[in-house]
Structure 1
């Protein structure tokens, strides 16, 4: 699995070639504001290693999931009034994935009313 992809918008953001509103980052992942938010707080948690989706992770890359959840916890703990939040991963085109670089949606600031009320 290559570390970056030359035609991937998330890889370009990670490399600093495309600007983004960065919330936090570490050596493994970055958190940015979604440019088309579906909630008052809508972030994308993106591993720095280019992997298309969960199905393409190999056994040596499972730690990526842990890193994404660690950043989600860090971001969640910084929310005012300890707001609740949702984490969503769309895996594959039929599941709604539009950028084929594994990422997790972090949404907060609105009540959840059902499984299909927000299309990501």
Structure 2
């Protein structure tokens, strides 16, 4: 399948998680977003927020559907609050392999629960 219109991509890990084909520890399910725990957490709270629709990265989501970009951030805020960190959390989009993106389905990292240094990386 193609990702040109946000359609699921057969070999996309996150599309398969959204479809329920691959198990994940889901912490929030919205009409257009899904949040689940990262399998290699970098902080006590490390949750990924993904759109149900397939877009390869954050820039593609913004270009296709600006409201969906905002919804990802709103979902992240709900998750951070539910995890006990309503005021102190970090949001990260990695866009492109050079920036550390390893799954090419847009996803927003929610990190909290420890001090987070700046600059990251």
* TM-score of the aligned structures, taking structure 1 as reference length: 0.89
1:58 is displaced (CA, Å) by 6.2
Question: Kindly tell me: are residues 63 and 81 of structure 1, through their superposed partners in 2, closer, same or farther at Cα, counting changes over 3 Å?
Answer: closer
How many Å apart are 1:100 and its aligned residue?
0.2
Q: Distance in 2 between matches of 1:82 and 1:39?
A: 16
| Runs of 5+ unmatched residues, structure 1 | none
Q: Given the alignment of the two structures, is residue 65 of structure 1 paired with residue 59 of structure 2, yes or no? A: no
Structure 1 segments of 4 or more deviating over 6 A?
none
Q: TM-score, normalised by structure 2?
A: 0.88
Counterpart Cα distance in 2 of 1:70 and 1:22? 17
Deviation of residue 83 (structure 1)?
Answer: 5.2
| 3-state SS of paired residue (1:56) | helix
Between 1:50-59 and 1:20-29, the stretch displaced more is 50-59
Q: Please tell me the root mean square deviation across aligned C-alpha atoms, in Å.
A: 1.6
**More moved, 75-84 vs 98-107:** 75-84
CA contact (8 A) 1:83 1:108 kept: no
Matched ranges for 1:66-105 at <5 A: 66-80=70-84, 82=86, 84-105=88-109
Partners of 2:24 and 2:36 within 8 A in 1: yes
What 5-or-longer segments of structure 2 have no aligned partner? Answer: none
- Aligned counterpart in structure 1 of residue 55 of structure 2, from 47, 51, 54: 51
Shift of 1:82: 3.9
Aligned length: 117
